[in-house]
Amino acid sequence: MSNYDYLETTLGLMEIICEDESLIGLKLVSEKIHRECENKTSKKVKSQIKEYLNGSRKTFNIPIKLTGTDFQKKVYEETLKIPYGSTKTYGGIASSIGNPKSMRSVGMALGKNPIWIIIPCHRVIGKDKKLTGFAGGIDKKLSLLKLENPEIEIKE
């Protein structure tokens, strides 16, 4: 059974979805549509997201359960390896998982990222350092990248 909780942030309202002791979903929503049910995991998520957004946290130690196809899970696992303040290209992710020509598929997988911010899809950029698609909006992607690295060079 899934538990839902919410966190109001500077980026907007985040919906936190937990199953057992694991986080399975974190996304921006326009309104609360489920009954809030805080548990130990969602409480930890809220605390760590607040710390991340105020600049005092660089890594997360929240148990997550990856969902999706095998390909999507490989993409998410590789994306989790991108360090705070760094970026990697879609092609770089594709090469790292052994499918060097699957940049678009990587982009599509990241577009379905169920655990926004914690699986840091905002750190994945185009090969020309351009910001491309982001489910939360390009403005939010840029603000997360600038939060992590104010000196980052990005082509808007």
Per-residue pLDDT of the chain (156 residues; tens, 9 = 90+): 899 999 999 999 999 999 989 999 999 999 999 998 989 999 999 999 999 999 999 999 999 999 999 999 999 999 999 999 999 999 999 999 999 999 999 999 999 999 999 999 999 998 888 787 776 778 888 999 999 999 888 776
Domain residue limits at 12: 2-53
Instruction: Indicate whether 18 and 87 sit together in one domain.
Output: no
Q: Taking a C-beta distance cutoff of 8 angstroms, is the pair 96, 78 a contact?
A: yes
Sign of torsion, CA 145 147 152 155? Answer: positive
109 falls within a domain: yes
121 is catalytic: yes
Instruction: Indicate whether 107 and 136 sit together in one domain.
Output: yes
Q: How far apart are CA 152 and CA 9, in angstroms?
A: 23
Instruction: Indicate whether 144 and 82 sit together in one domain.
Output: yes
Instruction: Indicate whether 39 and 77 sit together in one domain.
Output: no
58 falls within a domain: no
154 falls within a domain: no
Which is the catalytic residue, given 121, 124, 125, 131? 121
